[in-house]
Structure 1
Amino acid sequence: MTIRHALRSQPVLRTERLTLSQLGPDHLDLVMAGLADEDAMRLTGTRTTFTREQVGAHLAALPGADDRADFAITGPDGAYLGEVVLNELEEDDRSMNYRIALAGPSLRGRGFGTEAGRAVVAWGFDVVGLHRVSLEVYAFNPAAQRSYEKIGFVVEGRAREVLRHGDQWIDAVAMSMLDSDPRSA
C-alpha cells in the first residue's frame, strides 16, 4: 500500500478513552467553535480569522484526501474534543507534519492530546509507512512540549524569535519522531 493510498483510506482509530474519526463537513460548527478559542489561537500562533465558508470548503475537501489525515477526537460520551492532523506530506521523504488542537481550555492537561497523538503517530508509522513526523511548538507552550515528549517526539533545536506576540518575540522548538525511535506506552 502506498502512502497516498493509506492516507486516502483513513480509518477510525480507538484508544482507551477516545475515538478518532475522519474530520469532515459534519464537524463545521464544532471546528468554528474551536477557532473562537482565543487561547488556542495564541498557543498555535494563529492570527488568521477564518470565515464559515472557508472552513466549510476545507472540511469538505478532507474525506478521501491522499496528502493528509485529519481526525476528529471524540470522548467516551461522543463529545467533540478537538482535532489531530498529519499534513504537509513529503512523499519521497516519507515525512509529515503533526498538529493538534483541543476544543477549549477545559480539555487541556487531561491527557487527551497525548493519547490522541500516540494513536495517530503509531498509525502514521505502522500503517501509512512514514519515516519521520515533525512539529514546531512555541516556547510559551511548555505543556504542549511535554505532551509531545510523552508521545516520543525529540527536541531537535530552536528557531529564534519566529513569532511576535504582543511586545515579545517567541522562539519555536523543533521536534520530531522517527519510525525507529522508541515509542511511549
Structure 2
Amino acid sequence: MFENKIIRLRKLSTNDYITYHDWRNDIEVMKTTSPQLDMYTLEETEQYISAIASQSNAKGYIIEYKETGQSVGIVSLINIDYKNRSAECIIDIGVKDMWGKGIGTAAISLILEFAFNELNLHRVYLQVFSFNERAIKLYEKMGFIHEGKFRQALYRRGKWHDIVIMSILKNEYNQNFVK
C-alpha cells in the first residue's frame, strides 16, 4: 500500500468490481477517459477487473481518500514491458464529488514514484483525449511531455477528436520530483 497526505493506494482485488461497476457505467465519468461509452453488465465488469488484477503485466490500484476511507478512483500501470522498462498509465476518478480536489495529482504522483523507484521503469506513457484539457494540464504539471497524437481517432458528441500521447522518463521525473 502506498500513501501520501491525501490518498492511499491499495492493490486492486477481484472484489472491487462492484465499486468500479458504478463508475464504469457513469457516462459523465467515462466520457473523458474511455473510448467506448457503453453500459456494462455486472458480470462484464467483474471479468474486466479480474483480468487487470490477475495480469502479470499490469498493476492496478484503488484510490482511497484518506479522510473518509472512501474508494474514489482507480489508477493502473498496464502493458508493462519489463524488457524495455515501459508502461502505460491509466486513471479514473469515479466519484464526481472528488473532482478538482487534487486526487488525480496525488494518484499520479504515487504511481510514478512506484513505477520509477520500485519497478525501475524507464518510461511511463499515457493517452488522453484532446478535449480533456484539465487532465492534459495535470499531466504537464507532473512532467509529462507531448509525444504526438492519433489524429481524429475518437468520435465523440458528433465530432472527431485527437488522442494525445504523452510520456515522462525516469530522469525527467528525478529532475522534477526527487530531491
Alpha-carbon deviation of 1:29? 1.7
Q: Are the aligned partners of 1:152 and 1:184 in contact in 2 as well (CA < 8 Å)? A: no
Q: Are the aligned partners of 1:102 and 1:113 in contact in 2 as well (CA < 8 Å)? A: yes
Task: Report the equivalent of 2:45.
Answer: 55
Task: Report the equivalent of 2:62.
Answer: 72
Alpha-carbon deviation of 1:49? 3.3
Alpha-carbon deviation of 1:37? 1.6
**Aligned pairs (5 A) from 1:77-96:** 77-96=68-87
- Indicate the percent of aligned positions where both proteins have the same amino acid: 26
Q: Which residue, 12, 15, 18 being the options, matches 1:29?
A: 18
Task: Report the equivalent of 1:6.
Answer: none
Q: 1:63 to 1:173 in 2, by over 3 A?
A: closer
Task: Report the equivalent of 1:7.
Answer: none
Task: Report the equivalent of 1:128.
Answer: 119
Aligned-partner Cα distance in 1 for 2:155–2:51: 31
Aligned-partner Cα distance in 2 for 1:58–1:136: 19
**CA-atom RMSD, angstroms?**
1.7
Aligned-partner Cα distance in 1 for 2:97–2:150: 30
**Aligned pairs (5 A) from 1:2-13:** 12-13=1-2
Q: Which residue, 161, 171, 174 being the options, matches 2:165?
A: 174
Alpha-carbon deviation of 1:155? 1.2
Q: Are the aligned partners of 2:25 and 2:40 in contact in 1 as well (CA < 8 Å)? A: no
Read off the aligned partner of 1:183 and give its amino acid letter. N
Alpha-carbon deviation of 1:152? 1.7
Structure 1: 5+ residue stretches without partners: 1-11
The SS at the match of 1:93 is coil
Read off the aligned partner of 1:119 and give its amino acid letter. L
Q: Are the aligned partners of 1:22 and 1:72 in contact in 2 as well (CA < 8 Å)? A: yes
Alpha-carbon deviation of 1:51? 2.2
Alpha-carbon deviation of 1:119? 0.5
Alpha-carbon deviation of 1:83? 0.2
Q: Deviations over 1:64-112 (max 9, x none)?
A: 6421110000012110110001001222211100010001322221110
Q: Are the aligned partners of 1:139 and 1:170 in contact in 2 as well (CA < 8 Å)? A: yes
Q: Are the aligned partners of 2:27 and 2:37 in contact in 1 as well (CA < 8 Å)? A: no
Read off the aligned partner of 1:96 and give its amino acid letter. A
Q: Which residue, 74, 91, 98 being the options, matches 1:100?
A: 91
Alpha-carbon deviation of 1:48? 4.1
Residue 143 in 1 paired to residue 134 in 2? yes
Alpha-carbon deviation of 1:63? 4.5
Aligned-partner Cα distance in 2 for 1:156–1:118: 20
Higher relative contact order (Cα pairs below 8 Å, separated by 6+ residues): 1
Q: 1:162 to 1:14 in 2, by over 3 A?
A: same
Aligned-partner Cα distance in 2 for 1:153–1:64: 28
User: How many residues are matched?
Assistant: 174
Task: Report the equivalent of 1:183.
Answer: 176
Structure 2: 5+ residue stretches without partners: none
Report the TM-score, using the length of structure 1 for normalisation: 0.87
Q: Are the aligned partners of 2:25 and 2:38 in contact in 1 as well (CA < 8 Å)? A: no
